[in-house]
Amino acid sequence: MAPPPEKPREPALGGATPPAPSKGQASASREPVKPAESAEASEPAEASELAELAELARRVAELTRRLTALTEAAGREHERAAHREQVIDRLHAENQQLRHGLLQEALTPVRAGLYRLHDTVAREAARWQGPGSPPPERAGPLLSAIADEVAEVLGRTGAERAGVKAGDAYDPALHRPADTRPVEPGSDGTVVEVLSEAFAMGDRVLRKASVIVGRAAPEAGAEKTRVEKAQVEESRAGEATGTQAGEGEDARSPAPANPENPKKAKKSERAAGGDDPRPQRSNRKDGKAHDSRAGGDEATGRAAGGARKGSE
């Protein structure tokens, strides 16, 4: 409900009207006055708020200090990394220059030797092409001298000749077989001829020597023994064939009259016929010889046929 309207105040004596109170004065007059206990209770709250604000300010200052320190440390590390990169680039450039200088220094004696070899070959070529050229037999020593000069130049680079010569035992670590040549049994497995020299640097072989290795031919006695063995085998095969043929003929002939004792039956047959057993024995021998010769001829024919098939 709305408050009742205020009654107008009567003017005071003397005709003066007192001024009306303002809104602030009216509200102040209407508010109740706080007691002293409420003022004392608000002071600890304000103190705690001030303490929290001070702690936050301290933490912000600490974080700012740490961030500044990290920024400065990162800047210093960046400067150090840039300095290291500069040092690495400078050392790499110096290393390349040093390697180039060492290479040129190592090639200096090689170039000097090649200069001398070039002059020698050019001078000898002009002498051989001009009038009054040396005899052909002088070419061999000249080429040998040129080869020695080239070997000397290679020796300045560390590549030395291994010194392979004919008669050395074959060594697969040093020799490269290019061909074989029949030799005496005592020279089997040795170097017969050196086609190209071997070069080594210390214990390491840079290039193997190309050589011809000797191989001993089979001995004549061994070849003869093999031929005799083959002939013996052929004769045995012929005898086996003849024996099989004789067994077949015996199977086709009639059995003796007395199978229990064939020898007595044969003696009785000879006594009844009056034949001399000695010619019959010789006939049997002749028949066996004939059968063996026939078997040998047959085995020889089979061997010849096999050889013709192999050749075809």
**Each residue's pLDDT expressed in tens, for the chain with a length of 312 residues:** 455 555 555 544 444 455 555 555 544 445 554 555 555 667 777 888 888 899 999 999 999 999 999 999 999 999 999 999 999 999 999 999 898 888 888 888 888 888 888 888 888 888 888 787 788 888 888 888 888 889 888 888 888 888 898 889 999 999 999 999 998 888 888 999 999 899 998 889 999 999 999 998 776 555 555 556 666 676 676 666 655 555 444 444 444 444 445 454 455 555 444 444 444 444 444 444 445 444 545 545 554 454 444 444
Which residues, in sequence order, are bridge partners of residue 161?
199
Half-sphere exposure of 168 (CA within 13 A, CB side): 17
* Cα end-to-end distance, the chain, whole Å: 144
Specify the pLDDT at position 312. 40
| DSSP symbol at 132 | S
Region class of 167: left (phi > 0), else alpha (psi between -120 and 50), else beta: left
Q: Is CATH 2.30.22.10 the classification given to domain 162-217?
A: yes
Cα separation, 167 vs 243, in Å, equals 57
**Residue 199, C-beta contacts closer than 8 angstroms, at least 6 positions apart:** 154, 159, 160, 161, 162, 205, 206, 207
pTM, 2 dp:
0.41
Specify the pLDDT at position 157. 84
Cα separation, 89 vs 96, in Å, equals 11
For residue 200, give the nearest of 169, 235, 161 by alpha carbon.
161
**221, 186 contact by CB (below 8 A):** no
Half-sphere exposure of 113 (CA within 13 A, CB side): 17
Cα separation, 149 vs 153, in Å, equals 6
Query: For the chain, which residues make up each domain, given as ranges?
Result: 51-157, 162-217, 221-252+279-302
Specify the pLDDT at position 14. 46
**176, 208 contact by CB (below 8 A):** yes
The SS3 of residue 220 is: helix
Query: Which residue has tokens 């199978």?
Result: 259
Structure tokens at 249: 């003929």
Specify the pLDDT at position 46. 82
Cα separation, 131 vs 95, in Å, equals 55
Going from the C-alpha of 189 to that of each of 22, 171, 205, 215, 220, the distances in angstroms are 139, 9, 21, 6, 20
Going from the C-alpha of 284 to that of each of 100, 271, 288, the distances in angstroms are 102, 18, 6
Going from the C-alpha of 30 to that of each of 18, 23, 27, 39, 80, the distances in angstroms are 20, 10, 5, 20, 76
For residue 199, give the nearest of 163, 158, 161 by alpha carbon.
161
Cα separation, 129 vs 117, in Å, equals 18
